[in-house]
Amino acid sequence: MGRLLSTGGAVGLEKECLRVSEDGSISQRPHPAALGSALTHPYITTDYSEALAELITPPCTRVDEALAFLGDTQKFVYDHLENEYLWATSMPCVLDGGDNIPLAYYGTSNPGIMKNVYRRGLGHRYGRTMQVIAGVHFNFSFDEAFWPLYQDLRQSRVKPRDFVDSAYLELTRNLQRFGWLIPYLFGASPAVCKSFLGNKPTELLEFDPHTYYEPYATSLRMGDIGYTNSKEKGVGIKANYNSLEGYIRSLTHAIETPSPLWEKIGVEVDGHYEQLNANILQIENEYYSTVRPKQVLEGLEKPTLALRRRGVRYIELRSLDVNAFHPLGVSEEQLCFLRAFMVYCLLLESPPINVQERKEIDQNIGGAAHRGRDPALSLSRLGREVRLLDWARDLLQAMEPVCELLDRWDERKPYSRTLKQQQECVDNPENTPSARMLQEMRDQGEGFFQFAKRKSLQQRDYFSDFVPDAGRYRMFLEEAEASLARQRDMELADDVSFGQFLADYFAQQ
């Protein structure tokens, strides 16, 4: 079983990166046609904005394989940009209000229109600005051969699928309980351009005439100015992670329940769709969470329906900032730690989350995001206060046997090595990416914009000399053409109105 934990399972990455013009402002150009169709390309698409590229790796058995694929993808994108580059940080800069952020466009097919309307709805509901914050998603699944062995170890007599679903939900709950550790260790957004906030009032401090920051912040992306809390206030729901059925039921309720707040926007206004519906959530993806249980979709299947039909296939961790100190935006050390963290959270006992603990989880994430490096910061653990640094030390120490197990078949000992690095970040918070970013800004006499632009141009130079795998590069060229053909076929195949298409989509049972 130990070998299956070490060498089995799958790791996948989804990296968002904002295309910017030479002056650092968000690109107004469409998604480059040479990259293929954002609607049908499996590896290169867009997120909220036409300028927010999303690079996706397939599931890989090793973290270095996932990083190699991501590097080749990023090289291919760079080779097809004209007078543009990719922004190296999570937080964008030089924003001239939400109207300056172009919505992602996916063509004229009904599925393409649906993706565009969904994004228009997000803009109406929460504003466009926070939708162009970038992040890295870490997807992880255990080897199929692992589960029967683990079920025997747990002496469980339930159906195999029920056991797997329950175990993935236990893992999800622990990732939430201890999720504050991710922004502390890997948060890389302690500062933000004033342009991001526009003229909105803020309690952030002024770093320089163009930059806001917080002295002990780790990840403002995960804090009040980011997507998480602002969105929670808008949707007014909490997903239930105590069982898969509870999770599906809570999201389904939100998708099917009208919201007076969103009804004011309207759905079809003067013949033009402004949102998919006026319910609490338009679709499942609108519910922002640091971690999600996921199933691979078949066609235009609803995510909750896929979970109900086939159970949980993998876990998506969404709390990782783009690492400005690495050309790929994420490092092998980070991915090894996250893989070990996943295993640890699976093996640890995971009771249901009650209302009080749900509040503690939210408060702890916010505290770590805004004040994570404050040596006096305490978090809440089952009704008791505990210093973040003490709790972090306890967690990392408890992970040592897991990392030793994962290292047993690798003489490089990557898991123990990265664990030691993270322990050093707890003992010396100035070693964290967030502290290094602020210190480098001070040393260079830079605001956030100057820092981010300098890192972005350095990464552009890195990829100008980057040599990709020839076969994979050829695959990207072929896939670009094939994806455009698939989009054209979809547009020709439409035989119902968009309104009917939408009704059929939501009527899936």
DSSP, residue by residue, 378-391: EEEETTEEEEHHHH
Strands 84-86 and 191-193, bridge-based pairing = unpaired
The C-alpha atoms of residue 60 and residue 9 are separated, in whole angstroms, by 8
The C-alpha atoms of residue 303 and residue 456 are separated, in whole angstroms, by 35
Amino acid at the residue 297: L
The C-alpha atoms of residue 213 and residue 204 are separated, in whole angstroms, by 6
Which residues lie closer than 8 Å to 442 by C-beta, 6 or more apart?
A: none
Question: 437 with 455: CB under 8 angstroms?
Answer: no
Question: What would you report as the CA-atom Rg of the chain, rounded to the nearest whole angstrom?
Answer: 22
- Burial class of 80 by CB neighbour count within 10 A (0 to 12, 13 to 18, 19+): middle
Give the HSE-up count for residue 58: Cα atoms under 13 Å, Cβ half-sphere. 7
First to last CA, the chain: 37
Which residues lie closer than 8 Å to 331 by C-beta, 6 or more apart?
A: 323
The C-alpha atoms of residue 52 and residue 102 are separated, in whole angstroms, by 9
Look at residue 228 in the predicted model and tell me its pLDDT.
Answer: 45
The C-alpha atoms of residue 438 and residue 196 are separated, in whole angstroms, by 18
Strands 268-269 and 205-208, bridge-based pairing = unpaired
The C-alpha atoms of residue 56 and residue 483 are separated, in whole angstroms, by 15
| Domain regions of the chain by residue span | 2-506
DSSP, residue by residue, 344-357: HHHHS--PPP-HHH
Look at residue 227 in the predicted model and tell me its pLDDT.
Answer: 58
Looking at domain 2-506, its CATH class is alpha beta
- CA-to-CA separations, 15 to 18, 56, 70, 328, 329, in angstroms, rounded: 10, 7, 8, 9, 8
- Burial class of 4 by CB neighbour count within 10 A (0 to 12, 13 to 18, 19+): middle
- CA-to-CA separations, 263 to 229, 278, 470, in angstroms, rounded: 22, 5, 52
- The answer to whether the Cα torsion of 403, 4, 175, 320 is positive or negative is positive
Which of 427, 363, 384, 330 is closest to 135 using CA atoms? 330
Look at residue 4 in the predicted model and tell me its pLDDT.
Answer: 76
CA 464 to chain centre: 27
What tokens appear for 462 in the block?
A: 């890195």
Which residue, chain included where needed, has tokens 């996943």? 342
- The answer to whether the Cα torsion of 353, 358, 363, 365 is positive or negative is positive
DSSP, residue by residue, 263-300: HTT-SEETTEESSS-SBS-SSGGGS--SEEEE----TT
> pLDDT truncated to tens, each residue of the chain (509 aa)?
777 787 788 999 999 999 999 999 999 999 999 999 999 999 999 999 999 999 999 999 999 999 999 999 999 999 999 999 999 999 998 777 778 899 999 999 999 999 999 999 999 999 999 899 999 999 999 999 999 999 999 999 999 999 999 999 999 999 999 999 999 999 999 999 998 988 778 999 999 999 999 999 999 999 988 654 344 444 567 899 999 999 999 999 999 999 999 999 999 999 999 999 999 999 999 998 999 999 999 999 999 999 999 999 999 999 999 999 999 999 999 999 999 999 999 999 999 999 999 999 999 999 999 999 999 999 999 999 999 999 999 999 999 999 999 999 899 999 999 999 999 999 999 999 999 999 999 999 999 999 999 999 999 999 999 999 999 999 999 999 999 999 999 999 999 999 999 999 999 98
Give the HSE-up count for residue 347: Cα atoms under 13 Å, Cβ half-sphere. 17
Question: 401 with 2: CB under 8 angstroms?
Answer: no
Look at residue 201 in the predicted model and tell me its pLDDT.
Answer: 83
Which of 213, 222, 255 is closest to 362 using CA atoms? 222
**Collapsed DSSP state (helix, strand, coil) of residue 469:** coil
| Global pTM value | 0.96
Q: What angle do CA 27, 32, 36 make, to 5 degrees?
A: 145
